[in-house]
Amino acid sequence: MKSKLGIHIGFLACIGFLVAQFGGLIPATLLVGYVLLREENDFLRMSALKAFLIVLAASVLNFLIGVIPDILFELFDWISRIFGANTPFGSLKAIGKIDQIFNFFSWLVTTGKAILLVALAFLACGIKTIKIPFIENLIEKYASKDKE
């Protein structure tokens, strides 16, 4: 089966996953927009949405992982000032360890996203996929052609 671009559906889905991995959120958004507007193949549409949702979920998780330490540091600093501590919490050595923990979680999310998108890209060449229940449910609920 070929897409409207004349490219095999599996190869175009593979390109979509690789674009999502190496290009980021904006190229993935543009790809999803094209596929949803122009292509009619269900596998290709599902693959593009899956790639977009994986990149979006990883971006949101990394944002939250990056914000949580800042919120905690501000909260502890505020509490220490309430109790009259002369040294703000921000200067304590524990901050480095807390940052390392959250950086590790961010690395896990980024690495997991990369492994998943590359694995999906290889599988897409053979018009196969990995079922990710949460994402599959979102796609079926909100983007299914059966709803129309």
Report CA 48 to chain centroid distance, whole Å: 13
Q: Which of 97, 91, 67, 65 is nearest to 77 (CA)?
A: 91
CA 140, distance to chain mean position in Å, is 18
For 137, list phi and psi in degrees, rounded to 5.
-65, -40
Alpha helices in 83-93 (DSSP H): none
Q: How much is the pTM?
A: 0.83
Looking at residue 83, its pLDDT comes to 77
Residue 148: per-residue pLDDT:
46
Q: Give me 76's structure tokens.
A: 């502890």
Residues (pLDDT < 50) of the chain are: 147-148
131 φ, ψ (degrees, to nearest 5): -75, 125
